């Protein structure tokens, strides 16, 4: 497929992120109105999952169906890749069968290798460096609730992980200020942080990383957190839970943010650890709306990257 587009990083939507968010809104409205919209009729998406998934799997699978297409769930146990076939050969072969590949991987380099050898679009469904689909959905949710993105402040509190990395890039692209509050040694990826600061110059946003969670949350419009122990880090569980204890999003921390601040979490949540029940279930939480919007944002991504809508 000549000139295929991949979505491996938030940087891949730098030029048309605003348009992609508008498309997500338009598709959501059509879905809610019961209007059929099937730009992917007759098309297939291969979905490779190295990591467990609820939202990514269901939103992509249902999204493809609603857009008129078909999704195939593939785990490494079902594929020859689990028995030593190379990623390059897997990419070349799948490209002859399907119209796009979504890959949820342990390693960013594997996603990039798959994209290098695939002749159909590749979508990063999460890796150890970035989670672009999540952040496109998050920005869509914020815009839907606040009516704008530019000039808002997002506070991210916790581990400087793949979600944090992609949020930094996404906020910088749309002109939203972001402060990440992370413990020393658990800051976001330095290269992506530098890239976010570069992207923030033309958009007018401020990108900061601090170690104090209270200062990160100060006057924030959105307070965002994620798990302290990501998939693959289970051995560090005890150490991380001890270190991150003061980074919990609770009522006291939320008091530092604006009175109408919204609380976000990409789920799954470990309640009582990174976030308390009263906050995640409270009136300021938009966590379930955020999860629902994965479906609408994913459909926009599929329509754009697989059909050029």
The yes-or-no answer on residue 266 being catalytic is yes
The yes-or-no answer on residue 14 being catalytic is no
The catalytic position among 11, 55, 104, 296 is 104
The catalytic position among 11, 43, 55, 294 is 294
The catalytic position among 131, 240, 265, 296 is 131
The yes-or-no answer on residue 294 being catalytic is yes
Backbone angles phi, psi at 144, to 5 degrees: -60, -40
Confirm if 100 and 284 have CB atoms less than 8 A apart.
Answer: no
The catalytic position among 133, 164, 171, 266 is 266
Taking the C-alpha atoms of residue 176 and residue 217, their distance in angstroms, rounded to an integer, is: 15
The catalytic position among 11, 12, 127, 134 is 134
The yes-or-no answer on residue 226 being catalytic is yes
The catalytic position among 189, 226, 240, 290 is 226
The yes-or-no answer on residue 182 being catalytic is no
The yes-or-no answer on residue 255 being catalytic is no
> What residues contact 176, with CB distance under 8 A and at least 6 apart?
139, 142, 149, 150, 151, 152, 153, 154, 170, 205
Residues that are catalytic: 104, 131, 134, 226, 266, 294
């Amino acid at each position: 497929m000549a000139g295929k587009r991949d979505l491996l990083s938030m940087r891949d939507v730098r030029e048309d992120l605003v348009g992609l968010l508008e498309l997500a809104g338009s598709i959501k409205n059509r879905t809610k109105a019961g209007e059929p919209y099937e730009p992917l009729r007759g098309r297939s998406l291969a979905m490779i999952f190295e990591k467990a998934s609820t939202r990514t799997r269901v939103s992509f699978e249902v999204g493809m169906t609603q857009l008129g297409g078909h999704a195939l769930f593939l785990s490494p146990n079902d594929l020859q890749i689990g028995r030593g076939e190379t990623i390059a050969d897997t990419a070349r072969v799948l490209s002859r069968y399907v119209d796009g590949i979504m890959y949820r991987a342990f390693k960013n380099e594997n996603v990039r290798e798959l994209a290098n050898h695939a002749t159909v679009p590749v979508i990063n469904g999460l890796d150890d460096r970035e989670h672009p689909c999540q952040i496109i959905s998050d920005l869509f949710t914020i815009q839907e609730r606040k009516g704008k993105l530019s000039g808002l402040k997002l506070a991210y509190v916790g581990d400087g992980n793949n979600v944090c990395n992609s949020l930094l890039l996404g906020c910088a692209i749309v002109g939203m200020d972001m402060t990440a509050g992370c413990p020393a040694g658990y800051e976001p990826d330095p290269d992506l942080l530098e890239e976010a600061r570069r992207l923030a110059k033309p958009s007018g946003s401020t990108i900061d990383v601090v170690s104090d969670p209270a200062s990160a949350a100060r006057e924030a419009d959105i307070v965002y957190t994620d798990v302290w122990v990501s998939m693959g880090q289970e051995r560090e569980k005890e150490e991380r839970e001890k270190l991150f204890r003061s980074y919990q999003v609770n009522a006291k921390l939320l008091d530092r943010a604006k009175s109408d601040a919204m609380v976000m979490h990409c789920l799954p949540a470990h309640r009582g650890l990174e976030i308390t029940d009263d906050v995640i279930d409270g009136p300021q939480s938009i966590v379930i709306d955020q999860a629902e919007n994965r479906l609408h944002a994913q459909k926009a991504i599929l329509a754009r990257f697989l059909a050029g809508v």
